[in-house]
Structure 1
Amino acid sequence: MADKALKQALAAGTFVTAPGVFELISAMIADTMGFKALYVTGYGTVASHLGLPDAGLATYTDMLGRIATIVERTRTPVIADADTGYGGLLNVRHTVRGYEQAGVSAIQLEDQEFPKKCGHTPNRRVIPLKDMLQKIEVAVDSRRSDDFLIIARTDSRTSLGIDEAIRRGKAFAKAGADIVFVESPESEEEMQRVCEAIDAPLLANMVNGGRTPLLSAERLQSLGYAIGIHPAVGFLAMGAALKHAYADLAENGETTSAVELHDFSRFNELLGFPEVWEFEKRYARQEAANAAE
């Protein structure tokens, strides 16, 4: 079931900064950092699992399996990308129930046509507003607990303009979405307009290299946002680190001091090796005692 800590943080007016995680190493490291939530990014998860663009190619099963494992291996509330709900209204119901059963704390659903595209890339098209409102209604009706939050995202800014994006965001809040996500506003002024117009907790998407200005948590909160997700910081940092480390190895035939590596013993601790070793010692002692009898 959902971790109620995320809902409680929002109710208390605590700003939530959520780093993007996309597989277990990124999730388990971020889990130790004291964040109020982790954000399972669709872009990063599809890239790490399939090596493909975030273009509607991953299935519900692809995503749920990875999200469920991330939830299981971390203690921080998880916000998870669910694209368009992977189909029609029946698919939305199935997706909401599956994500909630997996222990996700907030599910993100968007108004793009299927198959969707990454929110900071071109050529996105959205479904009619009435169709998205039905998806929100189904999502709200399908959840088992109010602690499981529904995030409704509109991608209409890029193709239809900021006025339409705000109109949709207001309608999403009225339809029962717990959090409204207006994707890719293109200036701080547009972000301010979103916050002034929509009476609901708002989510800002801070994509490194994306269309929206990158603002601090303090500035986002002052504008009126409740959550700031940073979906790309993890996989872009990983990509840069791997490129540097592999280039160093290719050039020198060994890893030199130019490469910063995670301490191996601490990495073992992160993954739980000490528990494995203690288990092995315990049962090795029992086997020795049984052999001596």
Structure 2
Amino acid sequence: MADLLSAPTPPRARLRELLTAAASGRPLVAPGAYDALSARLIEQAGFDVVYMTGFGTTASLIGRPDVGLLTGSEMVDNARRIVAAVDTPVIADADTGYGNAINVLRTVAAYEQAGVAGVHLEDQAMPKKCGHMSGKAVIPAEEMAGKIRAAVAARRDPDFLLIARTDAAAVEGLDAAIARARAYAEAGADVLFVEAPTSEDDIARVAKELRGVAPLVFNWAEGGRTPALSLERIAELGFSLVLFPIGTLLAATAGIRALLETLRADGTPTAALPGLPTFGEFTDLIGLPEIGELEQRFGA
């Protein structure tokens, strides 16, 4: 967990190292965080990287679906808070870059300044939608390649990871999606992300066609359109990074619902308390002991 006085660490270089190691072994697993608290819990659980989910960010900030309602500044603000809460590298959803290639220049600079270790940019037309929803549209491949080149030009830290995501499989078919991914790699993307293949055969084909071109992302979207493969099978196919984007959000929703049902039925939450952290446990996990140590060190 992030220490208020910890020495600076190089999370971007660390992420690159983790991806390199994942290329020949177990894929890097990145659970989704929708806020600073969920990010801290992911880090405390022992995961090496945090993924800032756009779906979860939208749901937590405005209580609405992921259909392009948030602005770039709102997304960057959430990323900044998450980065400040943890020491692990953070990969953030940067949607479409919030405009054309010129907007991408500013978007990449803003995310880099926020401290994230990397972002993914997608080739959807705005307003975009969650990759596992219907009704998506994509921009021309050439336009997206220009946005990737702009992203490469905008970054100042060469370790800042640029992930190119294509949503074309649902719109133009898998052949087009694979061709787009190749074009995005040629434009300078570090990692490739073919969103929402709908069968294991399609997943295997993506891996076969693109393995060796660049490290590959598998989006294990909980309840989404992509089959739920085991981590062993994902490793066998050659994916380097696995995102579990919304499990934490769904778990939090289930927990809150259960507590509220108890409160509504009983008039108090007493019956639900045995399954919850105690007040002391919770204040410990969000860093109250550290604050106490700092008060002793710097207080009057």
| 1:274 aligned onto 2:283 | no
RMSD (Å) for aligned C-alpha atoms: 1.5
Please identify, of 98-107 and 268-277, the stretch whose mean Cα deviation from structure 2 is larger: 268-277
> Residues 10-89 of structure 1 correspond to what in structure 2 (within 5 A)?
10-12=19-21, 13=23, 14=25, 15-89=27-101
1:108 is matched by which residue type in structure 2?
A: H
How many Å apart are 1:258 and its aligned residue? 4.8
Q: TM-score, normalised by structure 1?
A: 0.93
Q: Give percent identity, aligned residues only.
A: 45
Q: 1:153 aligns with which of 165, 189, 193?
A: 165
How many Å apart are 1:253 and its aligned residue? 1.3
| 1:224 aligned onto 2:241 | no
For the Cα contact (< 8 Å) 1:17–1:217, is it kept in 2? no
Structure 2 residue aligned with 1:7? 16
2:94 is matched by which residue type in structure 1?
A: A
For the Cα contact (< 8 Å) 2:204–2:237, is it kept in 1? yes
Query: CA 1:144 to 1:282, structure 2 compared with 1: closer, same or farther past 3 Å?
Result: closer
Structure number with bigger Rg: 1
> Residues 1-293 of structure 1 correspond to what in structure 2 (within 5 A)?
3-12=12-21, 13=23, 14=25, 15-198=27-210, 199-258=213-272, 260-280=275-295, 286=300
Give the gaps of 5 or more residues in structure 2.
Answer: 1-9
Q: TM-score, normalised by structure 2?
A: 0.91
Q: Partners in 2 of 1:268 and 1:221 — Cα distance? A: 37
Give the gaps of 5 or more residues in structure 1.
Answer: 287-293
For the Cα contact (< 8 Å) 2:12–2:161, is it kept in 1? no
Report Cα offsets for 1:202-234 as digits up to 9, x if no partner: 001111110001122221111111110010101
Query: CA 1:153 to 1:248, structure 2 compared with 1: closer, same or farther past 3 Å?
Result: same
How many Å apart are 1:256 and its aligned residue? 3.9
3-state SS of 2:84 partner: helix
1:228 is matched by which residue type in structure 2?
A: V
Report Cα offsets for 1:104-129 as digits up to 9, x if no partner: 11111000001111110000000000
Equivalent residues, number: 285
Query: CA 1:102 to 1:164, structure 2 compared with 1: closer, same or farther past 3 Å?
Result: same
How many Å apart are 1:266 and its aligned residue? 2.0
